[in-house]
Chain A
């Protein structure tokens, strides 16, 4: 059992592999957030809670009901897409129609976050929940140790990222959403139905959060308290990469994953200060480059 090599003995390869694994998950979370932002100019503070909900659905379907992991992941995706669509149609759409102030949607998003927190607590309790390993075994090669389930989950995250990008680039709805993000009025003049594609975009963003929740439930488990922290990480990534840009979300995800992995190794002997250092670094970075690495309206 060498899955948890002691941090001080971690090799360079190990740190990079951990960073890539984390980065792929994070990038997927950030993509969902940035899609919703680019499309509707809404900061979805409830993104982390949507992730947690996805995690619990996978826990329930795979861990409790004993159905295959793929089925559980699909259940997380479908449920969250439905939640996202409902939230857009019933809540954001009405608020945006009635109020031109941006704070209104921010407050609404914050409200939804607390609401989902409460619902999750009510349905699934406050316990940390884990599921049986999806694959057994550990990849052990010289300086690099990686359990197979992590490799699988990391690989799946990369597949989802690529699928999302191809969808946005080459499909008709993808093109419509990019057009809507770049110029709302011009898109309307081309015949894009703003209401329909706002709903699709929100559903897709929530779906991505739910899928990552499901993926990570299989590795680290899930508990009802991590929604807020995940939202904060998602905002960090989007700020690092640049808001509303696909490439930025991916870059931000991998940068944060790598920083976390390096930090946990290098700063280990100083205690649990990785995120303290990351936040401090981010403040300096944003004061120099407020638009992030790739900040522009849409990639």
Chain B
């Protein structure tokens, strides 16, 4: 069976500076795959390429065996790829409710949207408490829950998460990690997780790719990478 998502030799440039150099990676249905690496290693660029926010220069991106590179972001969302962007990016002056409804913007099935909404509010009871509140007035952790819920409103097959633990209180990072695991398990959503908190990312993923200056430096089962001496030195050093 072919993988759900496959990047082959993807190259991406910002003006004349390359951000990704011959990156190949894949993700199978139901998997949680982590992308780890230092700041500027190209992790976020990979997500921007998948969602269509950035055009790739060469290579290909396939989702369910179909080329999606070159498609517009709104068309890619409709295929079932939802993204939780870096820095959360809630719609600050809109209510929690309207933020969640925006997540279902690409859908037209009113009854289905209501059911998904109920599911999201059940998963994150905090959002129900804050239902009419402006999203910009909530705490960082609550906003993170909101944007994960917003992405789930699209009822995605593939969920892309960009640095969900960034700027979140350490206690809440555990909660976020737990909900990612739960979402992957309950909703049969495949997850591509970009994280600077490599330890957390490796603990909750099956496989991982370690990036360095725009290309894949290491890849393999997360448990093995977690024990690997090179990974410990390069990506886990200093933490804990």
Q: Which of B72-80, B120-128, B177-185 contacts A (4 or more CB under 8 A)?
A: B72-80
CA distance A51 to B211 in the complex (A): 56
B85 at the interface (CB under 8 A from A): yes
Cβ–Cβ contact A176 & B105, under 8 A? yes
Residues of B within 8 A of A186 (CB): 85, 89-91
**Sample (25) of A-B pairs whose CB atoms are under 8 Å apart:** A175-B94, A178-B98, A179-B102, A179-B105, A182-B92, A183-B91, A186-B85, A186-B90, A187-B91, A187-B102, A188-B74, A189-B73, A189-B85, A190-B77, A190-B105, A190-B106, A191-B74, A191-B77, A191-B106, A191-B154, A192-B105, A193-B72, A296-B93, A297-B93, A299-B93
A159 at the interface (CB under 8 A from B): no
Which of B78, B82, B83, B89 meets A183, CB within 8 Å? Answer: B89
A59 at the interface (CB under 8 A from B): no
Given contacts A176-B102, A185-B53, 18 further A-B contacts (CB under 8 A): A178-B98, A179-B102, A179-B105, A182-B93, A183-B90, A183-B91, A185-B89, A189-B53, A190-B102, A190-B106, A190-B154, A191-B73, A191-B74, A191-B77, A191-B78, A191-B105, A192-B74, A192-B105
What's the minimum C-beta distance from B109 to chain A, rounded to whole angstroms? 13
B45 at the interface (CB under 8 A from A): no
User: How many residues does chain A have at the interface if contact means C-beta atoms less than 8 Å apart?
Assistant: 20
B51 at the interface (CB under 8 A from A): yes
A45 at the interface (CB under 8 A from B): no
Which of A172, A178, A188, A191 meets B94, CB within 8 Å? Answer: A178
CA distance A178 to B95 in the complex (A): 11
List the B residue with the shortest CB-CB distance to A172: B105
Residues of A within 8 A of B98 (CB): 175, 178
Residues of A within 8 A of B78 (CB): 191
B101 at the interface (CB under 8 A from A): yes
A298 at the interface (CB under 8 A from B): yes
Residues of B within 8 A of A176 (CB): 102, 105
CA distance A220 to B44 in the complex (A): 58
Cβ–Cβ contact A182 & B77, under 8 A? no
What's the minimum C-beta distance from A293 to chain B, rounded to whole angstroms? 16
Cβ–Cβ contact A179 & B91, under 8 A? yes
Given contacts A176-B105, A183-B89, contact A189 B94 (CB under 8 A): no
What's the minimum C-beta distance from B107 to chain A, rounded to whole angstroms? 9
List the B residue with the shortest CB-CB distance to A297: B93
Residues of B within 8 A of A296 (CB): 93
Given contacts A175-B98, A175-B101, A175-B102, contact A189 B91 (CB under 8 A): no
In the complex, which residues 119-177 of chain A have their Cβ closer than 8 Å to any Cβ of chain B? Answer: 172, 175-176
What's the minimum C-beta distance from A200 to chain B, rounded to whole angstroms? 14
Among A185, A190, A296, A298, max chain B CB count under 10 A is at: A190
The total number of A-B Cβ pairs within 8 Å is 67
Interchain residue pairs A-B with the least CB separation, the first 3: A191-B106, A191-B77, A186-B89
Cβ–Cβ contact A182 & B105, under 8 A? no
CA distance A183 to B94 in the complex (A): 11
B103 at the interface (CB under 8 A from A): yes
Residues of B within 8 A of A297 (CB): 92-93
CA distance A126 to B234 in the complex (A): 75
CA distance A192 to B72 in the complex (A): 10
CA distance A80 to B94 in the complex (A): 29
Cβ–Cβ contact A193 & B91, under 8 A? no
CA distance A176 to B105 in the complex (A): 8
List the B residue with the shortest CB-CB distance to A174: B98
Which of A179, A182, A187, A189 meets B83, CB within 8 Å? Answer: A189
List the B residue with the shortest CB-CB distance to A193: B74
CA distance A296 to B92 in the complex (A): 11
CA distance A241 to B76 in the complex (A): 39
Residues of A within 8 A of B74 (CB): 188, 191-193
What's the minimum C-beta distance from A183 to chain B, rounded to whole angstroms? 5
Cβ–Cβ contact B93 & A188, under 8 A? no
Cβ–Cβ contact A189 & B51, under 8 A? yes
CA distance A182 to B85 in the complex (A): 15
What's the minimum C-beta distance from A241 to chain B, rounded to whole angstroms? 15
Residues of A within 8 A of B72 (CB): 193
What's the minimum C-beta distance from B49 to chain A, rounded to whole angstroms? 13
Given contacts A178-B91, A298-B93, contact A190 B85 (CB under 8 A): no
CA distance A183 to B78 in the complex (A): 20
CA distance A298 to B92 in the complex (A): 9
Given contacts A178-B94, A190-B102, A190-B103, contact A185 B77 (CB under 8 A): no
List the B residue with the shortest CB-CB distance to A296: B93
In the complex, which residues 55-84 of chain B have their Cβ closer than 8 Å to any Cβ of chain A? Answer: 72-74, 77-78, 82-83
Residues of A within 8 A of B91 (CB): 178-179, 182-183, 186-187
Q: Scan B179-219; emit 1 where CB is below 8 A from any A CB, else 0.
A: 00000000000000000000000000000000000000000
CA distance A192 to B73 in the complex (A): 8
Residues of A within 8 A of B85 (CB): 185-186, 189
Q: Scan B99-122; emit 1 where CB is below 8 A from any A CB, else 0.
A: 001110110000000000000000
